[in-house]
Amino acid sequence: MSTRKVPFVPHEYYHVYNRGNSKQVIYKSPDDYQRFVRLLKVANSSQPFKLEYLDRKNAQEKQVEPLVSIGAFCLMPNHFHILLTPITENGVSKLIQKISTSYSMYFNKKYERTGSLFEGKFKAQFVDSDRYLKYLYSYIHLNPVKLMQPDWREKGIANPDVAYQYASTYQYSSLPAYVSKVHASRNIISPEHFPDYFKTSADHQSELLEWLKFLE
């Protein structure tokens, strides 16, 4: 059995991501995205969860004994990104296994398919510096801009303000929770367990616009 190259140490920071097998789409409808988002909340507990919880809009708003604290996330059509820090031993692996198993079962049943949905084991990168950790907030939250312009990182963005508006209202990301405290994904993230880089929504906007304009 192979061992994971990145050991998960409680209270350190990690960028976790995975994509569909052979780069296939893993979210085909708004319901699929919402299912995965609810799993980020409901599965993040050391206690077992029941599948019927996922059909309750307000199910387990705050988890008892969470496995990890999530600082940022973004779901794209064929992959996902999560910035997190483990709270319990093996918390990262337990969370991603619970989410991947439950979501794959849901997806395969819904679309009458069989086989692996995700491309092997999830990937993880240890965040080894404060600079890299801060950068990941921008990298993860600006991922949706690729849906507007796939080559924006290579060729620059035509209108940074429009791109920021698109990213800040993208519903399958944690950015709306940072710019609007009442957004539903506020119940998923735990900013208090991460450095306070952005004290206000204006701070988030300024940082992201700086990246967008830098790549104009």
Enter the tokens of residue 208: 């992201």
pLDDT band, residue 97 (cuts 50/70/90): very high
Give the pLDDT score at 214: 76
Give the pLDDT score at 208: 93
Domain edges within the chain: 14-214
Give all strands (DSSP E) within the chain, no chain letters. Answer: 14-19, 68-76, 79-86, 123-126
pLDDT band, residue 2 (cuts 50/70/90): very low
Give the pLDDT score at 5: 65
pTM over 0.85: yes
Give the pLDDT score at 37: 96
Higher pLDDT pick, 57 / 156: 156
Higher pLDDT pick, 181 / 142: 142
DSSP 191: G
Higher pLDDT pick, 61 / 67: 67
Helix, strand, coil percent values for the chain (each to nearest 5): 45, 15, 40
List the CATH code of the domain at 14-214.
3.30.70.1290
Side by side, which strands form the sheet with 79-86? 68-76, 79-86, 14-19, 123-126
Average pLDDT estimate for 182-188: 80
pLDDT tens-digit profile of 35-47? 999 999 999 998 8
Residues 6+ apart with CB under 8 A from 143: 74, 76, 81, 167, 173
> For helices 201-214 and 160-168, what crossing angle results, to 10°?
130
Give the pLDDT score at 4: 60
* Collapsed DSSP state (helix, strand, coil) of residue 61: coil
Average pLDDT estimate for 120-148: 95
Share of the chain above pLDDT 70, in %: 89
Which one-letter amino acid corresponds to residue 167? A
Is the pLDDT score of 33 beyond 70?
yes
